[in-house]
């Protein structure tokens, strides 16, 4: 259902803060006064409310069965914990969206939290898609493959899998057991002899008619039954078929079935962790907390098999209860994926019924959230708990080491406190072509890859003019930030240290750019390789002291080298990706009216773009899928002097 949107502001201005051009003379209300202003027109219906700061940033997202009653509780400031008092004091605006039911409000709340990342909510920082196994339906010889992203029509899906490694392992075993093709339809049509996968007994080679459509269909159905957990006796059936083939002296067929049995046995031994009759499709979710930090371990069980596990580290206040963190995690985790029929948790969730109704809306079928106390399900949960505890202990140990390194960086460059954000810059190009600059970010959590940025250089680049590239990158990075920055405040993404790969000349050029932009409160550090460009003999350039070196085995030296090397790696891979796109681009892409289908038809007919360019008008008109008008457009594109007569 689509919620009915309704926005209410705390002032006569729009719900979001007004622009400077239309700002009212009086500053907006803040704190309890702002909330009381919003309550004057707030309904009692179910919905979602958002608390916004003076700049329009989302501070908190919440849901309610009765919006007015729930929001009223924030005006009773003496009953709120310190964290919520601080949130209320920063609130200047409110926005609400009404929904039909509280379950819909819960789903909408989870969606908003994932998209807006408000700092006072429990946050699941998970922006990765999950891989699935896909089996195409609309083909006489269906293809089995790995898939990410949006679902496609005409295909069946199994998953999700915790990682690419787990889905690749499963695909390899499925190919051994069921001999289904993994090649694309175009490769299937173009093959004239079996590929290597057939030689190593992982494909039945339908491309060259080495298996009939009926027999291939039987393999497809067996694979479907196995992935769905519908045929637990498949192993025994294959053994019987192998024995029958051997008795009939069909030794080649018996050997092929034997190889399939080995693949099926390997899959069952590797992936089966529980009895599929008691728990076929389920997610095992266990939380563990240490020192105000949480780790949530999720095991994906599908068809009685383990599709892998993954650890999550949600962001929350140190005093959040484990059950509350777990409930918020589940709502956000299933925001973009269907939940299974069973979800096993190691803590009882206070509002289990509401969360269950919301997940049933997401799935379209029944969902159970179970907190088992004994038996097989409890044993599986204890295993997940152990994994969560070990993952959290490793993370805490790594963060302690990271904290020591950042303190060492602060001591080295005379910072008042360990840096929260270090930005490292590098660029890459070949003789001025495919030029890119990159920004890599690190902090207390290590490398923050979500904050990485790529800068496709827009201005002309003279070969070797790294200074010019760096100038453009820094101007684009800081110009908008300086415009948005208020007097005496620092944006959340403002760096403490800016690290560049270069010596005195590079340092001076970057310092000049930063001074022009007015960026004076960022520590700039240049790192230059020493004699013979040996790692470990780097020179550091910074303000108010001559260039210096660190002892070869200094941990801080290793850390700064890692930052520089990560920026270099990111710059190289970004440049290579951009160069690859350029290499595969064809001049056919620039012809009006020629899309992918017509481009493919032209290349199939003439072999290359050069062949299309050399073709006559009559040849173009005879090409399949090319109309007379399109042929004339193509011919005129390559022959601008042609008058069309």
The token pair at 251 is 């030794």
Q: Binning pLDDT at 50, 70 and 90, where does residue 26 land?
A: low
DSSP for 410-430, written as a single string: HHHTT-SS--S-EEEEEEEEE
Higher pLDDT, 87 or 490: 87
Q: 147: burial class by Cβ within 10 Å (0-12, 13-18, 19+)?
A: middle
Residue 497: is its pLDDT beyond 60? Answer: yes
Q: Binning pLDDT at 50, 70 and 90, where does residue 428 land?
A: confident
Which runs of E-coded beta strand occur in 100-216? 132-136, 144-147, 155-158
Task: Give the span between the Cα atoms of 448 and 384, in whole angstroms.
Answer: 27
Least confidently predicted of 6-20, 49-63, 73-87, 450-464: 6-20
Residue 7: is its pLDDT beyond 60? Answer: no
Buried b (16+ CB within 10 A) or exposed e, 13-25: eebebbeeeeeee
CA 271 vs. chain centroid, Å, equals: 25
Which CA distances in Å does 493 have to 113, 408, 471, 505? 19, 22, 20, 27
How many residues are there in the chain?
A: 645
Q: Binning pLDDT at 50, 70 and 90, where does residue 25 land?
A: very low
In order of their start, the domains of the chain are 20-116 (3.40.1440.10), 132-271 (no CATH), 282-394 (3.30.420), 422-485+492-582 (3.30.420.340), 587-638 (1.10.150.20)
Q: Any residues with CB less than 8 A from the CB of 389 and at least 6 apart, and which?
A: 288, 290, 295
The token pair at 194 is 């079996």
Over residues 602-620, the mean pLDDT reads 80
Residue 368: is its pLDDT beyond 90? Answer: yes
**Which residues are paired to 369 by β-bridges?**
343
Over residues 164-187, the mean pLDDT reads 84
Task: Give the span between the Cα atoms of 571 and 436, in whole angstroms.
Answer: 7
Which CA distances in Å does 474 have to 355, 533, 584, 613, 622? 46, 26, 30, 43, 54
pLDDT given for residue 440 in this prediction: 94
Which of 450, 449, 445, 441 lies closest to 401 in space, CA to CA?
A: 445
Residue 178: is its pLDDT beyond 50? Answer: yes
Q: At what angle are helices 251-271 and 234-247 packed, to 10 degrees?
A: 160
> What is the dihedral sign for C-alpha 189, 193, 195, 198?
positive
pTM of the model: 0.71
* Secondary element (H or E) of residue 300: strand 293-302
Higher pLDDT, 640 or 507: 507
Which CA distances in Å does 270 have to 56, 238, 263, 307? 51, 19, 11, 10
pLDDT given for residue 576 in this prediction: 77
Question: pLDDT tens across 294-325, in order?
Answer: 999 999 988 777 888 899 999 998 889 999 99
Judge contact between 540 and 430, C-beta under 8 A. Answer: no
pLDDT given for residue 23 in this prediction: 39
Task: Give the span between the Cα atoms of 326 and 344, in whole angstroms.
Answer: 11
Least confidently predicted of 48-62, 275-289, 382-396, 614-628: 275-289
Sheet arrangement for strand 58-64: 58-64, 47-52, 93-98
Task: Give the span between the Cα atoms of 512 and 643, in whole angstroms.
Answer: 56
Question: pLDDT tens across 212-246, in order?
Answer: 989 898 888 888 887 776 656 666 777 777 777 77
């Amino acid at each position: 259902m689509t919620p009915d949107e309704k926005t209410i502001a705390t002032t006569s201005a729009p719900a979001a803060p007004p622009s400077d051009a239309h700002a009212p003379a009086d500053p907006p209300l803040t704190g309890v006064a702002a909330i009381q202003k919003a309550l004057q027109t707030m309904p009692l219906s179910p919905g979602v409310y958002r608390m916004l700061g003076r700049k329009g940033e989302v501070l908190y997202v919440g849901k309610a069965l009765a919006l007015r009653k729930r929001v009223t509780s924030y005006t009773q400031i003496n009953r709120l914990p310190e964290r919520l008092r601080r949130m209320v004091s920063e609130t200047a605006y409110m926005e609400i969206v009404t929904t039909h039911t509280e379950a819909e409000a819960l789903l909408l709340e989870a969606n908003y939290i994932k998209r807006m990342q408000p700092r006072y909510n429990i946050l699941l920082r998970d922006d990765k898609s999950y891989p699935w196994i896909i089996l195409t339906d609309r083909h006489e010889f269906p293809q089995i493959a790995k898939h990410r992203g949006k679902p496609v029509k005409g295909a069946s899906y199994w998953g999700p899998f915790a990682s690419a490694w787990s889905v690749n392992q499963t695909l390899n075993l499925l190919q051994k057991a069921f001999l289904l093709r993994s090649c694309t339809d175009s490769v299937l049509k173009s093959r004239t002899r079996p590929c290597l996968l057939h030689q190593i007994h992982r494909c039945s080679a339908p491309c060259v008619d080495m298996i009939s459509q009926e027999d291939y269909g039987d393999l497809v159905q067996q694979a479907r039954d196995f992935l769905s957990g519908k045929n637990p006796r498949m192993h025994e059936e294959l053994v019987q078929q192998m024995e029958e083939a051997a008795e009939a002296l069909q030794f080649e067929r018996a050997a092929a079935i034997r190889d399939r049995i080995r693949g099926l046995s390997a899959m069952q031994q590797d992936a089966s962790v529980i009895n599929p009759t008691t728990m076929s499709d389920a997610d095992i979710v266990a939380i563990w907390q240490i020192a105000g930090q949480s780790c949530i371990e999720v095991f994906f069980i599908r068809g009685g098999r383990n599709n892998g596990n993954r650890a999550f580290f949600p962001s929350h206040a140190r005093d959040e209860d484990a059950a509350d963190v777990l409930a918020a995690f589940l709502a956000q985790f299933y925001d973009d994926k269907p939940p299974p029929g069973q979800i096993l948790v190691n803590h009882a969730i206070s509002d289990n019924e509401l969360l269950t109704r919301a997940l049933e809306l997401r799935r379209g079928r029944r969902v159970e959230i179970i907190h088992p106390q004994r038996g097989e399900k409890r044993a599986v949960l204890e295993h997940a708990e152990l994994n969560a505890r070990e993952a959290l202990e490793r993370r805490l140990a790594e963060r302690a080491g990271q904290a020591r390194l950042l303190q060492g960086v602060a001591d080295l460059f005379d910072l008042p406190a360990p840096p929260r954000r270090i930005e490292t810059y590098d660029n890459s190009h070949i003789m001025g072509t495919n030029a890119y600059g990159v920004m890599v970010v690190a902090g207390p959590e290590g490398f923050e890859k979500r904050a990485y940025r790529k800068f496709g250089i827009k201005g002309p680049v003279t070969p070797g003019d790294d200074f010019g590239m760096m100038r453009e990158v820094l101007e684009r990075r800081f110009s908008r930030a300086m415009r948005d920055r208020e007097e005496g405040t620092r944006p959340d993404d403002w760096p403490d240290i800016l690290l560049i790969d270069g010596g005195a000349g590079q340092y001076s050029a970057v310092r000049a750019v930063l001074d022009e932009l007015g960026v004076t409160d960022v520590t700039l550090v240049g790192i230059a390789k020493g004699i013979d460009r040996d790692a470990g003999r780097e020179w550091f350039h910074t303000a108010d002291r001559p260039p210096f070196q660190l002892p070869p085995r200094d941990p801080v030296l290793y850390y700064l080298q890692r930052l520089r090397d990560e920026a270099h790696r990111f710059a190289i891979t970004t440049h290579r990706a951009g160069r690859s796109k350029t290499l595969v681009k064809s001049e056919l892409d620039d012809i009006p009216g020629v899309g992918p289908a017509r481009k493919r038809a032209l290349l199939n007919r003439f072999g290359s773009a050069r062949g299309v360019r050399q073709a006559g008008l009559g040849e173009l008109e005879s090409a399949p899928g090319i109309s007379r008008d399109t042929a004339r457009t193509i011919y005129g594109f390559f022959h601008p002097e042609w008058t069309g007569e």
